[in-house]
Amino acid sequence: MARTVVIGQGYVGLPLAVRAVDVGHDVVGYDTDKRRVESLRRAESFIDDVSGAQLARMLASGRYHPTSDAADLAGFELAVVSVPTPLRDGAPDLSHVEAAAVELGGHLRPGCCVVLESTTYPGTTEDLFIPSLEAGTALRAGRDFHVGYSPERIDPGNPRWSLQNTPKIVAGVDERSLDRVTRFYEQLVDRVVPVRAIREAELAKLLENTFRHVNIALVNELAMYCHGLGIDVWAVLDAAATKPFGFMKFTPGPGVGGHCLPIDPSYLQWQVRRAVGSNFRFIDIANDVNEHMPDYVVTRVAERLNRGYRSVNGSSILLIGLAYKPNSGDARESPALEVAHRLADQGALLAAVDPLIDPQQVPSFVHLVPLTPEHLGRADLVLVLTDHDALDWPLLERWADRVLDTRNRLGSAAERL
């Protein structure tokens, strides 16, 4: 089987490496984070979708080699780049993409294939990634080696949709590249979706997440208005969802988090401003609504405490869930952490229950505790921010009279967003 390099061993790259090993590839899992590499060598997973047992089997097979030594990239037949693309001062930071391309460029060989999976704005693959690959070599993309783009669609903690059963968009710099990239992913996933042009594949990824971001903002704003009008927003959404066509149900919450939703639409916004000289208005509005949801949650907390003649300052508040989404320990851009910071700024005494989050990602002013009647009894208010299935929801329901539930996990038993 092919010698395959996966650059970036995080939420995207590690599941890809696992799947490639499963189908018989010899995989070099490259990451510049030496501590992460050491964890992988000890079969210690740091993401929800890959277990320690899976890592142990991969290592025992002899077909998985985690490394931070760029010399180990030599001899690859296919390389996938899945590195972070954060925002810096509102602009995409593609330094990790460039660095990965430069590292791979020193090991290019005729006939090899390189695929970019990192989320980014249209034009990145052809205007930045390929020139960085070609720098310092006489080899040229399309002529001497293949280049493609395939946007990641990883949803951490999702029990239904995995890398294997989620359709995979692929594109190539030319027809031969598209064919090579298609054949690679056909080994890994159930369905491959070829797209004619790389820029179309890049934009498709941004559209997917902008669609979600805008619709979440819609129901978040609706939730605020419904509260003011005395209308149950959850009943409204359930009623609307009975329509079998033309409607897709989204639900409100304390904000949006993860690496995608708070960030990806801003790539598109940045490019529209640069290329067209105007704003993508839907993105501006969605950003404004979703970024202010933690403030709204804190306002609702204050209202609830005021009804009991208490202020936020000095009140004991038990936070249920700190990760950005249910059934995941991922705290990247978590709105729950934003809520915690705002409550702490107002003098709240905070404890939190989250069996999945890495304690190192928990702020020092938040005390992690187990979910027990004793901790529930000490709290002036219990605030549900992330509804992990593993939590004892029947126990929480027994304390519903002091719960503010931003996720509707307890239904009408508790006060809801």
113 touches 145 (CB < 8 A): yes
Q: What are the backbone angles phi and psi of residue 266, rounded to the nearest 5°?
A: -70, -25
**Angle between the 335-345 and 293-307 helix axes, to the nearest 10 degrees?**
50
Round to whole Å and give the CA distance between 133 and 114.
9
Round to whole Å and give the CA distance between 333 and 322.
11
Type and span of the H or E element at 320: strand 316-320
Mention every residue, 6+ apart, whose C-beta is less than 8 A from residue 334. 257, 322, 323, 324, 386
Is position 113 annotated as part of the catalytic site? Answer: no
Round to whole Å and give the CA distance between 340 and 336.
6
Round to whole Å and give the CA distance between 403 and 353.
14
- Active-site residue identified among 112, 113, 226, 260: 260
**Angle between the 198-229 and 281-291 helix axes, to the nearest 10 degrees?**
50
Identity at 184, one-letter amino acid code: F
Categorise residue 73: left if φ over 0, alpha if ψ from -120 to 50, beta otherwise: alpha
Type and span of the H or E element at 55: helix 52-61
Here the tokens at position 317 are 């508040």
Residue that the structure tokens 């692929």 belong to: 170
What is the CB-side half-sphere exposure of residue 339 using CA atoms within 13 A?
35
Type and span of the H or E element at 383: strand 381-384
For residue 163, give Cα distances in angstroms to 115, 159, 294, 417.
Answer: 16, 11, 31, 33
Here the tokens at position 111 are 């006939």
Round to whole Å and give the CA distance between 177 and 116.
12
Of the candidates 20, 154, 7, the residue with the CA atom closest to the CA atom of residue 69: 7
Round to whole Å and give the CA distance between 151 and 147.
13
Round to whole Å and give the CA distance between 288 and 291.
5
Q: Which residue numbers are catalytic?
A: 260
